[in-house]
Every structure is written in C-alpha cells, then in structure tokens.
Amino acid sequence: MSATDILAAKIERSQKRTAQLQARQALREMRLATVARARARKCAARRKYELGESVLLAGLVDWQAAELVGLLLDGKDRFGASPTMRMGLRKRGDEHLESLRGGSASPTAH
C-alpha cells in the first residue's frame, strides 16, 4: 500500500467519523426538540385544565361557553388595565378557593 493509499484511507475514515458525529448531533437536537414540544404540550394541557377547573370552582358549570367568554371579555374590559382591580379580583378568588378547601362549600353550589 502506497503512502497515497494510506492517506486516502485515513481521509475516508475521518470523513465517516465526521458524518457519524454530525448524525449523532442531529439526533440529539431532534430529541431535545421533541422533549421541548412535549413539555410545552403538557404545560398547555395543564393550563387548560386549571382554567376549566376555575369555571367549575366559580360555580359556573351551567353556563354556556359563549356566556363564559362574554363574562371574561367584560371582566377584561373593566379590570384588565388596572393592576389594583386585578389584585382585588385575585384576593376575592383566593378567598373563595380557600373557603372551598375548608370543605364549607361544594364547587358547584355557588
């Protein structure tokens, strides 16, 4: 085997190794992207669950979706720009949730 052949074989091995490392890196990036998407889906699902549960805890189980959206839009228009008003709403909500946790009221009784 000549020096040229040996050198060509080394170059070929290096190119294969580089291709393998690039493929491994691409796979790693794909896995990370998949994990990130799954985490985002899980967070979105958890948020939807919390929002749905909030409707139930507020005692609005019999309201139609359009009525709920109207209520929320009205509240946003009235209170959305005021941090003070929102703090008052949060306090009222926290108090209501605390009373429900105390077992004194059922989630759909209000």
17-34 confidence digits (pLDDT tens) = 999 999 999 999 999 999
For residues 90 and 79, membership in a common domain is answered with yes
For residues 68 and 36, membership in a common domain is answered with no
Tell whether the model's pLDDT for residue 40 goes beyond 60. Answer: yes
Domain containing residue 103: 59-110
| pTM, full prediction | 0.63
For residues 14 and 48, membership in a common domain is answered with yes
Confidence band, pLDDT 50/70/90 cuts, at residue 8: very high
The span from the CA of 71 to the CA of 65, in Å, is 10
- How far CA 90 is from CA of 32, 84, 85, in Å, comes to 37, 10, 9
For residues 26 and 64, membership in a common domain is answered with no
For residues 46 and 65, membership in a common domain is answered with no
For residues 35 and 81, membership in a common domain is answered with no
For residues 31 and 72, membership in a common domain is answered with no
For residues 45 and 20, membership in a common domain is answered with yes
pLDDT at 103: 58
